[in-house]
């Protein structure tokens, strides 16, 4: 009896467990561009185009390898419009009664498959280094689930940057060396840009016709959409970007959107690259003397440490994780996140880059757009849906813990030991944004004071009951308490006025 083998848009890997369990001679691979998956949040047009184009190329690759592939394009007249609908349609066509599926990366789809009126065998997604059981075993009995200790276990498991049972370079973590502000000159010309071929161009035309009302610019489009292109992108980064990636990974510039970032997360998160091959390539560069330890360790930590860790948290915490809001923040997402006018140069740059590239690096996401949302008291569910929608590499298993936990502290400290908030001083130190801003980063109060300066103290004051006893925040509260009462009153009053302007829909 034939079966259906489901391949989702972020599962474009030959090693996928559902493909490995399938039989080319009898089974049918089901792939579908469906309306439901484009609209549960309004995804950036570039993200939709990336996934559809990569799906089409992967489907052709599977056909070349001997698979029978039933593929539904979005504009197919018989397209059922949903994953389950497409499975039911293909089951009726083929007579298949069983579906082989690799576990999806979000609870929404897991639930849909579980409730489908078909026999669905959900197999583990073993493209990750740590299984759910491994993460649960590591987490069991720990009072705090800190990534650093999980990361060390992954280093031991993989042998990456290990010399026997000791870390290469004598330390597990070289993060202290990876916080330099941007240099005067960037010697990396950025990620490779791939010219759209006929398949990509056809997808772009479709996306342009269907999703022009979504936030984000579709063209120019240059993402890698095949494994061959993804490998070229990886090689380009390892050779040219990685050597200085560590030093400047947190830096931001007005006129350089990528600095030394390689933009391989899109390929990694849709399955065109595997985490181990990416990390092995970086480790090899260190071993051959082509990249320093701080760059390579920092890069590898992001993948086998942070990436694996947040996936573990997402599945450990369960389906209600994205709805958590321990700080009780409820402000609607301001218009600036959708490109609304602002005099804050850092927000304009981060959001503008997001609109045009469907990409911003981790510090732009955490310490600019995320920091502003947290300080302003924005509803974390709205923040979560924004991040999920606007970034091409955003899938819920990786995005939600980064937003709900790391960025917005809405999970109450499961991921972060303190909220990631800062005044304008941090942004000024790590970027040149403040130099061309209408606001003055050195000014603490007044009409031209940096909004981050006012909102920072407002956040600490309104959440004092929760954070004043946090060991990592004691100095902040002592600084606040040393201010004279009149100055504190001025800060709070001016921050209140700023928030009132946000609520009124005014630009700040």
Over residues 172-185, the pLDDT tens digits come to 999 988 989 989 89
Strands 162-163 and 119-123: unpaired
pLDDT value, residue 182 = 87
Q: Please give the radius of gyration of the chain, using alpha carbons only, rounded to the nearest integer.
A: 23
C-alpha 425/C-alpha 405 separation (Å) is: 23
C-alpha 212/C-alpha 222 separation (Å) is: 18
C-alpha 89/C-alpha 77 separation (Å) is: 13
C-alpha 220/C-alpha 204 separation (Å) is: 10
- Does the pLDDT at position 1 exceed 80? no
Mean pLDDT score of the chain: 97
C-alpha 386/C-alpha 339 separation (Å) is: 12
Domain 132-193+226-317: CATH architecture, name and number where available = Alpha Horseshoe (1.25)
4 strand-pairing partners: 28, 99
- Does the pLDDT at position 248 exceed 90? yes
C-alpha 342/C-alpha 131 separation (Å) is: 44
What are 171's two structure tokens? 């330390």
Decide if 231 contacts 281 (C-beta within 8 A). no
Q: Do 132-193+226-317 and 335-503 fold alike per CATH?
A: no
What tens digit of pLDDT does each residue of 422-437 get? 999 999 999 999 999 9
C-alpha 318/C-alpha 106 separation (Å) is: 10
Decide if 73 contacts 33 (C-beta within 8 A). yes
pLDDT value, residue 370 = 98
Whether this model's pTM surpasses 0.75: yes
pLDDT value, residue 426 = 97
DSSP H or E run through 70: strand 68-72
Which residue intervals of 301-443 are DSSP H helices? 308-317, 345-357, 362-363, 371-376, 380-390, 396-400, 424-430
Mean pLDDT computed over 88-116 = 97
- Does the pLDDT at position 256 exceed 80? yes
Looking at CATH, the fold of the domain delimited by 4-123 is given as Rossmann fold (3.40.50)
- Does the pLDDT at position 482 exceed 90? yes
Mean pLDDT computed over 346-351 = 98
Domain 335-503: CATH architecture, name and number where available = Orthogonal Bundle (1.10)
68 strand-pairing partners: 28
DSSP H or E run through 86: helix 83-94
Question: Domain ranges in the chain?
Answer: 4-123, 132-193+226-317, 335-503
């Amino acid at each position: 009896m034939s079966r259906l083998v489901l391949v989702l848009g972020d599962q474009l890997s030959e090693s996928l467990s559902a493909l490995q369990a399938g039989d080319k001679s009898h089974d049918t691979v089901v792939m579908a561009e469906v309306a439901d998956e484009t609209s549960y949040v309004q995804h950036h047009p570039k993200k939709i185009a990336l996934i559809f184009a990569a799906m089409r190329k992967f489907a052709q690759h599977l056909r070349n390898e001997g698979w029978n592939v039933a593929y539904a394009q979005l504009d197919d007249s018989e397209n059922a419009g949903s994953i389950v609908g497409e499975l039911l349609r293909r089951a009726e066509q083929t007579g298949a009664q069983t579906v082989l599926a690799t576990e999806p990366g979000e609870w929404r789809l897991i639930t849909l498959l579980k409730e489908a009126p078909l026999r669905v065998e959900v197999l583990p997604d073993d493209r990750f280094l740590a299984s759910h059981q491994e993460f649960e075993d590591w987490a069991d009995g720990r009072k705090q689930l800190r990534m650093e200790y999980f990361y060390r276990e992954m280093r031991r498991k993989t042998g990456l940057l290990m010399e026997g049972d000791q870390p290469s370079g004598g330390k597990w973590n070289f993060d202290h060396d990876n916080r330099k502000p941007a240099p005067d000159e960037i010697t990396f010309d950025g990620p490779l840009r791939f010219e759209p071929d006929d398949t990509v161009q056809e997808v772009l035309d479709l996306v342009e016709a269907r999703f022009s009302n979504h936030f984000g610019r579709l063209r120019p489009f240059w993402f890698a959409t095949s494994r061959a292109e993804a490998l070229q992108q990886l090689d380009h980064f390892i050779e040219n970007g990685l050597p200085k990636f560590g030093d400047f990974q947190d830096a931001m510039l007005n006129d350089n959107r990528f600095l030394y970032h390689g933009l391989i997360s899109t390929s990694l998160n849709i399955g065109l690259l595997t985490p181990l091959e990416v990390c092995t390539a970086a480790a090899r560069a260190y071993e051959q003397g082509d990249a320093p330890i701080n760059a390579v360790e920092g890069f590898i930590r992001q993948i086998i440490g942070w990436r694996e860790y947040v996936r573990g948290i997402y599945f450990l915490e369960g389906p209600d994780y994205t709805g958590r809001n321990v700080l009780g923040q409820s402000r609607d997402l301001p218009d600036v996140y959708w490109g609304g006018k602002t005099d804050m140069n850092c927000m304009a740059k981060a959001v503008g880059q997001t609109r045009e590239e469907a990409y911003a690096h981790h510090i732009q996401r955490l310490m600019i757009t995320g920091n502003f949302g947290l300080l302003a008291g924005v509803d974390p569910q709205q923040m979560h849906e924004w991040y999920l929608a606007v970034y091409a590499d955003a899938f819920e298993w990786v995005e939600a813990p980064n937003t709900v936990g790391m960025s917005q502290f809405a999970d109450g400290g499961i991921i972060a030991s303190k909220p990631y908030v800062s005044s304008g001083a941090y942004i000024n130190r790590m970027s040149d944004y403040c130099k061309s801003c209408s606001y003055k980063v050195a000014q603490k109060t007044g009409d031209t004071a940096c909004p981050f300066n006012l909102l920072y103290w407002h956040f600490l004051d309104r959440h004092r009951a929760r954070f004043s006893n946090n060991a990592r925040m004691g100095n902040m509260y002592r600084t606040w308490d040393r201010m004279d009462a009149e100055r504190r009153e001025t800060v709070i009053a001016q921050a209140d006025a700023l928030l009132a302007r946000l609520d009124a829909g005014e630009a700040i």
